[in-house]
């Protein structure tokens, strides 16, 4: 499959079977995240790979995972991420989101479903998973074997002329 076909095929899956993500697939997904570029190659991102019932119970105190069997909590150390001198912008969210995106498309290429989750209480996730103060949980990517075939917004995007401006 070409990359653009992979991009077109992906949608946010919100229903999964009980079949676990294999160890090999999980390692491929994590490797795609590990290889992501980060600002100044500072590599401030870490991932908590949740597969246990106990781990999912802790996530469910403040979020939902749609029955996925793997949840990747993507965290960023704000003390290590690059800060732009011009305006003081800390790019930790950008670094974490590139890692998340690379893992999302690796999972898609493996035929797995994913859903990117930002609807969670970061204070609860930090407490439940023992994150230090400087480390922020930025995204959760849930992964599993899809039990649905599409999503409400699959492919629903604004037209190119509204997306791009040539200068």
Ligand X SMILES: Cc1cc2nc3c(=O)[nH]c(=O)nc-3n(C[C@H](O)[C@H](O)[C@H](O)COP(=O)(O)O)c2cc1C
Q: Is 119 in the site for ligand X (CB under 6 A)?
A: yes
Find the binder of ligand X among 116, 146, 147, 148 (CB under 6 A).
116
* Contact (Cβ atoms closer than 8 angstroms) between residue 95 and residue 38: yes
Q: Candidates 2, 153, 161, 162: give the one binding ligand X (CB under 6 A).
A: 153
The CA distances from residue 71 to 81, 87, 103, 165, in Å, are 23, 34, 11, 37
For the beta sheet containing 45-50, the strands, ordered from the edge strand earlier in sequence to the opposite edge, are: 45-50, 70-77, 135-144, 113-117
Restricting to residues 22-61, name those near ligand X by CB under 6 A: none
Using the rule CB under 6 A, which residue among 12, 65, 92, 106 binds ligand X?
12
- Taking the C-alpha atoms of residue 109 and residue 107, their distance in angstroms, rounded to an integer, is 5
Q: How far is the CB of 119 from ligand X (least distance, A)?
A: 3
Residue showing the smallest CB distance to ligand X in the complex: 119
End-to-end Cα spacing for the chain: 32
How far apart are CB 42 and ligand X at their closest, in Å?
A: 21
Binding site for ligand X (CB under 6 A): 11-12, 14, 115-119, 151, 153-154
């Amino acid at each position: 499959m070409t990359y653009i076909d992979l991009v077109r095929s992906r949608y946010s899956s919100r229903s999964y079977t009980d079949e676990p993500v294999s160890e090999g697939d999980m390692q491929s997904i994590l490797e795609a995240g590990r290889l992501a570029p980060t600002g100044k190659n500072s590599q401030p991102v870490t991932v908590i790979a949740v597969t246990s019932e106990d781990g999912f119970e802790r996530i469910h105190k403040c979020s939902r995972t749609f029955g996925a069997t793997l949840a990747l909590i993507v965290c960023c150390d704000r003390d290590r991420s690059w800060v732009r001198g011009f305006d003081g912008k800390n790019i930790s969210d950008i670094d974490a989101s590139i890692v998340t995106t690379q893992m999302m498309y690796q999972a898609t290429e493996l035929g797995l479903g994913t859903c990117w989750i930002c609807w969670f209480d970061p204070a609860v996730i930090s407490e439940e998973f023992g994150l230090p103060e400087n480390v922020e949980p930025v995204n959760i990517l849930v992964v599993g074997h899809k039990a649905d075939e599409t999503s409400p917004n699959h492919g629903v995007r604004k037209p190119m002329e509204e997306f791009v401006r040539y200068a």
